[in-house]
Chains A and B, each alone.
Chain A
Amino acid sequence: DTAVSQTPKYLVTQMGNDKSIKCEQNLGHDTMYWYKQDSKKFLKIMFSYNNKELIINETVPNRFSPKSPDKAHLNLHINSLELGDSAVYFCASSHRGGSDTQYFGPGTRLTVL
Chain B
Amino acid sequence: ELKVEQNPLFLSMQEGKNYTIYCNYSTTSDRLYWYRQDPGKSLESLFVLLSNGAVKQEGRLMASLDTKARLSTLHITAAVHDLSATYFCAVDFQGAQKLVFGQGTRLTINP
Could you tell me if A45 and B99 are in contact, using CB atoms closer than 8 angstroms? yes
Among A11-19, A62-70, A76-84, A94-102, the one that faces the other chain is A94-102
Interface status of A113 (Cβ within 8 A of chain B): no
Contacting residues, chain B, for A43 (C-beta < 8 A):
43, 88, 101, 104
Q: How far is the CB of A58 from chain B (nearest CB, A)?
A: 8
Beta-carbon contacts of A45-57 to B below 8 Å, as 1s and 0s?
A: 1001000000110
Q: Which A residues are in CB contact (< 8 Å) with B104?
A: 41-43
B27 within 8 A of partner (CB): no
Chain B residues, Cβ within 8 Å of A105: 42
Q: Is the CB of A99 within 8 A of B101?
A: no
Q: Which one of B42, B48, B101 contacts A101 once the chains associate, using CB atoms below 8 Å?
A: B48
Q: Interface-forming stretch among B17-25, B63-71, B73-81, B90-98?
A: B90-98
Task: Report which B residues bind A (CB closer than 8 A).
Answer: 30-31, 33, 35, 37, 41-45, 48, 86, 88, 92, 96-101, 103-104, 106
A interface residues with partner B (beta carbon < 8 Å): 33, 40-45, 48, 55-56, 58, 90, 92, 97-99, 101-107
